[in-house]
Amino acid sequence: MRVAVLGAGAIGAYVGAALCRSGADVHLIARGAHLAALRAHGVRVLSPRGDFSAHPHATDDPTTVGPVDYVFLGLKAHSYASAGPLLAPLLGPETALVAGQNGIPWWYFHKLPGPYEGQRIEAVDPDGETSAVMAPERAIGCVVYPATVIKSPGVIQHLEGTRFSIGEPDGTVSQRCRWFSEAMIAGGLKCPVEPRLRDDIWIKLMGNASLNPISALTRATMVEICESAGTRRVVELMMEEILDIAARVGSTPEISIARRLDGAQRVGHHKTSMLQDLEAGKQLELDAVVAAVVEMADITGAPAPTLRTVHAATDLLARTMVKRAPIIPTPAPA
């Protein structure tokens, strides 16, 4: 199995190291000091489950890799539409794209039976630009649960979690999903193939679409948001609205709001990825995580007043941030 990781940041390099450990032929696409360290020393993973090292091929030039069986997308979703020049050399006729992104994916309504089948979500597929680069037929959905950070170039600190849920847009358990799952499991990760992957997307989105923008607006950690009665209530309202939108497109996540909030509170004084990006002057991951959900409210006729209000405030924050400071491209999802 040949696998390229496009955007070998914290999550991408972690996945690449695990797949390399399973025996896959892995190629990491990275840049800068991180790339230099990967070339010189490979990937070193520091984990409470046990440290390990792997030495996959690393490059900034995908033409040296050529077509692969799978491309794991370690980029943030707002980088997808511009990734064509890097992605094209990696694509063969049967290459699958494993999209390890936060939020609503560009393929969401692809092969989803019902009134919205084939609907394009402009927030994540503006004018079809993402689909033109990444055909939905190639997509394998992936919900990323682990938390990792780049401790130093070439060194990945694994904090918690090993689950990468994957699934086909049409809900089938395909052979290509089974093969990828088996390789991930052989590398020490959890990788269930979920026929209803969209339910997993909404479970994670309950937290990302509420806690992330609130954290950016307040500069508060997850536990601080949950322990403050006012912000906790705002998050509860946003989660109720998110579940309403999910139900309107046929998803029924099997988790309560109380349980989802308790899980977030147990994380402790952790800054969300959006707050970390804000403090680093990087582009905020709003389109896939918040704007796409608001757009789905428009499509389905959901009121979502709290979600719309928080999105308006966070969108203004992002736009004023652009005027005041340069944006640093972000290579990988948190």
Enzyme catalytic residues? 204
Q: Mind spelling out the 3-state secondary structure of the chain?
A: CEEEEECCCHHHHHHHHHHHHCCCEEEEECCHHHHHHHHHHCEEEECCCCCEEECCEEECCHHHCCCCCEEEECCCHHHCCCCHHHHHHHCCCCCEEEEECCCCCCCCCCCCCCCCCCCCCCCCCHHHHHHHHCCHHHEEEEEECCEEEEEECCEEEEEECCEEEEECCCCCCCHHHHHHHHHHHHCCCECCECCCHHHHHHHHHHHHHHHHHHHHHHCCCHHHHHHCHHHHHHHHHHHHHHHHHHHHCCCCCCCCHHHHHHHHHHHCCCCCHHHHHHHHCECCCHHHHHHHHHHHHHHHCCCCHHHHHHHHHHHHHHHHHHHHCCCECCCCCC
Lookup: tokens for 58:
């690393």
